[in-house]
Each structure stands twice: as C-alpha cells, then as structure tokens.
Amino acid sequence: MFKHTRALAALAGIALLAACAKPGEGDANKADAATPSDLATDAQKFGYAIGIDLGHSLGPVKDDVDIKALEAGLEESAAGKTPRLDDKTRDEIKKTVSVKIQQKQMEEHKVKAEKAKADGEKFLADNGKKDGVKTTASGLQYEVLTEGKGDHPGKDDKVTVNYKGTLIDGTVFDSSYDRGEPVSFPLANVIPGWTEGLQLMTVGSKYKFYIPAELAYGERGAGVKIGPNETLIFEVELLSIDKTPAADAAPAAPAAKPAKK
C-alpha cells in the first residue's frame, strides 16, 4: 500500500547497482552538445549519471536526507575510510527514519482517503438527482448513452469492451480508446461495480457508470492514479459476449483493465 523507503536500506549499494543496470531517466537521456567541462570524461559523466539515478531514487525520502552528509558518506566509503557511524548505529537510524516516514505516509493516506470519501459521497448525491441517472440497490449509478440489442452477459461470461475511466474531477486514468484496442476479460474478474454494471447492458450498448469507492478499489486505491476511496466514472461500450464457461475462458485480462478487489 505504501511506498517503501528502499533508499534508506541500501542507499550506496542497491541504488548504484540499479543505476548501472538500467538506462537513465529524464535529463540523463538527453544529448547535450554543450557538455559542461566538469562532465568531459567518461568517469565524470558516469558519476553524474549515477548521481541523477540516485537522486530519483531519493524522491520519496528527500526531505529526510541531508545531501551533504550523503556526499560525505559516499566520499569516505569510496576512499576506504572507517565509517564514523558503526554498523549498529547505521542500522538503527535507518530503521528509525523508516518508521517515521511510514507513519507520515499513513497519515497522508488517511487524510486523502477521508477527503476522497466525502467528495465522492457529495458527488454521487448530486449526480443521482440528474435526469437519466439511475441508482441500483448497491449504490452503483448508471446512465444509458446508447441502448443496444441482444443478450445480457452473465457474471460467469467473458466480455469484450471499450472504455474510458476518469476521476470525478475529470482526470482520465485509463482508456482503451487511447490504446487503440478493446479489452476482453471474465466478468467475474473485475471490480464489483463493473461486474454488476455490465450485466445491465446488451451488446452494442454504451453506458456511463458512476462507481462508489466500495464498489471500486476502496481505501487501498490502485496504482498511482487512483487514490484511496476514489469514486470512479466509466464510459463503457459492450462489444461482444463470450459465453464460454469461466473455467475455459482466458484466465487473465490486460493489466490496464479494472481488477477485482
């Protein structure tokens, strides 16, 4: 749920090895014809590239790291000097700061979750009063944009859809339209709001779903784009239904699809 402070656990070792094993990011990928004189040699450029990668890895903990002390540790270790803090002391301070950072992240997560819940409840209360918006017993809201014909999928069927997902502020967090291809998945393998909502549709239909957090990803959220207790909005177009028994259907859908809680 929370970001781990790996930079604290193995700052001078793992981060440097990772920097050697993968290409640089951001500015490290840009060629600069006017290379500064202090980055003229391969050794200088290599050292700078590692520094950029190390700086990126410190992002989540940058407010808790003294850069001058970090530089001193690197220089003294590279020079073979005896560390001014022994092994036990170094382990203790890393553990202490790690706990401090985790507590801070938990507090920030709680604040975000409470705000998102309140904002979502208000949004749904107002949205449910709009013409054309229907609310089911579970709290799922939906709006029919286009009504198709034919069968409804069952919870054990596999479906193929196109969709766009947004937060209530309009931020798009996922879209099969943007990727240029629909997705297929067993209906039982998605979030409850989708499992319920898709069964209301027929092939050729396009619905708009307003999904409360408890029918989506709940307090844990999903990845970096969907925070805790976020109410989600999906425009979904049902393209086809495969009534192959779930046991015979493809076991996994694309990673970008909404995943079951």
Mean pLDDT for 78-90 is 94
Determine, yes or no, domain membership for 186.
yes
Mean pLDDT for 47-67 is 90
pLDDT tens-digit profile of 205-261? 999 999 999 999 999 999 889 999 999 999 999 999 998 654 444 433 333 344 443
Q: What is the pLDDT of residue 52?
A: 93
Number of domains in the chain: 2
Residue 196 has pLDDT above 70, yes or no: yes
Determine, yes or no, domain membership for 241.
yes
Determine, yes or no, domain membership for 100.
no
Residue 12 has pLDDT above 60, yes or no: no
d(CA 241, CA 145): 19
Task: Please indicate, yes or no, whether residues 241 and 126 belong to a single structural domain of this protein.
Answer: yes
Task: Please indicate, yes or no, whether residues 75 and 130 belong to a single structural domain of this protein.
Answer: no
Q: How confident is the model at residue 32 (pLDDT cuts 50, 70, 90)?
A: low
Task: Please indicate, yes or no, whether residues 72 and 133 belong to a single structural domain of this protein.
Answer: no
Task: Please indicate, yes or no, whether residues 145 and 32 belong to a single structural domain of this protein.
Answer: no
Q: What is the pLDDT of residue 110?
A: 95
Task: Please indicate, yes or no, whether residues 46 and 150 belong to a single structural domain of this protein.
Answer: no
Task: Please indicate, yes or no, whether residues 136 and 185 belong to a single structural domain of this protein.
Answer: yes
Q: Which residues contact 162 (CB under 8 A, 6 or more apart)?
A: 176, 177, 182, 183, 236, 237, 239
DSSP 150: S
Residue 4 has pLDDT above 90, yes or no: no
- Cα dihedral 184, 179, 236, 244 in deg (nearest 10): -10
d(CA 215, CA 206): 20
The domain spanning residue 222 has which CATH number?
3.10.50.40
What's the sign of the alpha-carbon dihedral 136, 192, 184, 210?
Answer: positive
Determine, yes or no, domain membership for 58.
yes
Determine, yes or no, domain membership for 113.
no
Helices H / strands E in the chain, number of each: 7, 7
Determine, yes or no, domain membership for 227.
yes
d(CA 166, CA 225): 10
**Residue scoring higher pLDDT (118 or 39):** 118
d(CA 107, CA 118): 17
Task: Please indicate, yes or no, whether residues 171 and 244 belong to a single structural domain of this protein.
Answer: yes
Residue 69 is encoded by which pair of tokens?
A: 């002390």
Query: What is the residue range of 166's domain?
Result: 122-248
Mean pLDDT for 15-21 is 42
pLDDT tens-digit profile of 119-166? 999 999 999 999 999 999 999 999 999 999 889 999 999 999 999 999
d(CA 73, CA 85): 10
